[in-house]
Amino acid sequence: MRILVIGGGGREHAIVWRLTRDAGTQVYACPGNVGMTGVRRLEAANLDVAGVVARVKETRAELVVVGPENWLAAGLVDGLRAEGIPALGPDRGGARLEASKAFAKEVMEEAGIPTAGYAVFTEAGEAKAYIDAHPAALVVKADGLCAGKGVVVAGSRSEARQAVDDLTAQYGSELVVEERLEGREVSLLGLTDGERVLPFPAARDHKRVFDGDRGPNTGGMGAIAPPADVSEDETRRLCRQFLEPVVVRLRERGILYRGVIYAGLMLTRDGPRVLEFNVRFGDPETQSILPLVGGNLSELMAAAAAGDLGRMEMPWKAAAAVTVVLASGGYPGPHTTGKVITGLEEVADLGGVYVFHAGTGLEEGRLVTAGGRVLGVTAVGDSREAAMTLAYRAADMIHFEGIHYRMDIGSSPTEK
pLDDT in tens, 13-65: 999 999 999 999 999 999 999 999 889 999 877 789 999 999 899 899 999 99
What average pLDDT does the structure give for the chain? Answer: 93
289: three-class secondary structure by DSSP: helix
Domains of the chain in sequence order: 2-91 (3.40.50.20), 119-178 (3.30.1490.20), 182-306 (3.30.470.20), 320-415 (3.90.600.10)
pLDDT of residue 172: 85
d(CA 63, CA 22): 14
Question: Which residue type sits at 46?
Answer: N
pLDDT higher than 80, residue 237: yes
Provide the pLDDT confidence category of residue 148 given band limits of 50, 70 and 90: low
Model confidence band, residue 80 (pLDDT cutoffs 50, 70, 90): very high
- Per-residue confidence band for 208, with pLDDT thresholds at 50, 70 and 90: very high
Higher pLDDT, 117 or 342: 342
Residues 6 or more apart whose CB falls under 8 angstroms from that of 181 comprise: 116, 266, 268, 273, 275
- CB contact set of 410 (below 8 Å; sequence gap of 6+): 222, 224, 322, 384, 387, 388
User: 24-28, 85-89, 129-133, 311-315: which range is least confident on average?
Assistant: 129-133
pLDDT digits (tens, 9 = 90+) for 277-308: 999 999 999 999 999 999 999 999 999 999 99
Q: What is the pLDDT of residue 414?
A: 67
- pLDDT value, residue 303: 98
3-class DSSP state of 161:
helix
Residues 160-190 as b/e (b if ≥16 CB within 10 A, e otherwise) read bbebbeebbeebeebbbbbbebeebbbbbbb
Reported as type and span, the H/E element at residue 141 is strand 139-142
Q: Tell me the helices (H) and strands (E) count for the chain, helix number first.
A: 14, 22
Q: Residue 242: left if φ>0, alpha if ψ -120 to 50, beta else—which one? A: alpha
pLDDT in tens, 341-388: 999 999 999 999 999 999 999 999 999 999 999 999 999 999 999 999
Predicted model pTM: 0.93
Q: Is-contact 97 103, C-beta < 8 A? A: yes
Task: Tell me what pLDDT residue 336 has.
Answer: 94
CA 47 to chain centre: 23
State whether residue 120 is helix, strand or coil.
strand
Annotate 335-353 with DSSP letters as a single string. -----B-B-HHHHHTSTTE
pLDDT value for 416 = 57
